[in-house]
Amino acid sequence: MQWRKFNGERIQLPIREAVDEAIVRASAAGQRLKVCIGTDSQVKGKETEFATVIVFLRERNGGFMFIHNEKTLQKYTIKERMLVEVAKSIEIAYDLCDLFTKYDVDMEVHADINTNPQFKSNAALREATGYILGMGFAFKAKPEAFASSSCANKVVN
């Protein structure tokens, strides 16, 4: 998996090491972090692109994020695509959660699923909520899910 920073710079380290370094660096600077992980997707013709982000929020000092993009020709219904987004976020959260526990960093999984039943993405809300909470993660959906609906949305091509 290739990750990059918002400025386009490639992250050369494996993502676990890069996240570990980012937490240690913030801690050494006296900054308290919170991490939000989210995924968004966009369908263009026959292609679906997913963008997963790890957003690091520095208490009272801005933030930064790591980004991973991937494309597929797989066809999805809206509900399937929303659940794939959630699965991608959970995969990263699960891979990194021991680091967050080790350094006492709060972490949330954000889903780009609308809580308003008038929106198509709402069809996946119940399953997504169960999946995320069942994994033991804190969870936010739209409109509070900024990691997926704002940050990932900006970097999905």
> What is the C-alpha to C-alpha distance for residues 7 and 22, in angstroms, rounded to an integer?
16
For residue 6, what pLDDT band results from cuts at 50, 70 and 90?
A: very high
| pLDDT for residue 128 | 93
CATH of the domain at 50: 3.30.420
Q: Rounded to the nearest 10 degrees, how much is the dihedral formed by the CA atoms of 136, 35, 106, 39? A: -20
Give residue 110's pLDDT: 97
Q: Scan for tokens 């709060």, then name that residue.
A: 106
Tell me the average pLDDT of the chain.
95
- The pTM of this model reads 0.94
Beta bridge partners of 114: 142
Is 157 in a helix, a strand, or coil? coil
Q: What is the tally of structural domains in the chain?
A: 1
**31: containing domain:** 3-155
Place of tokens 């292609």: 47
For residue 2, name the pLDDT band (cuts at 50, 70, 90).
Answer: very high
The set of residues, in sequence order, having a beta carbon less than 8 Å from that of 106 and lying 6+ positions away, is 34, 35, 100, 138
> 104 pLDDT band (50/70/90 cuts)?
very high
pLDDT of the residue at 157? 72
Could you read off the pLDDT of 120-151 as tens digits, one per residue? 888 899 999 999 999 999 999 998 999 999 99
Cα 34 from chain centroid (whole Å): 13
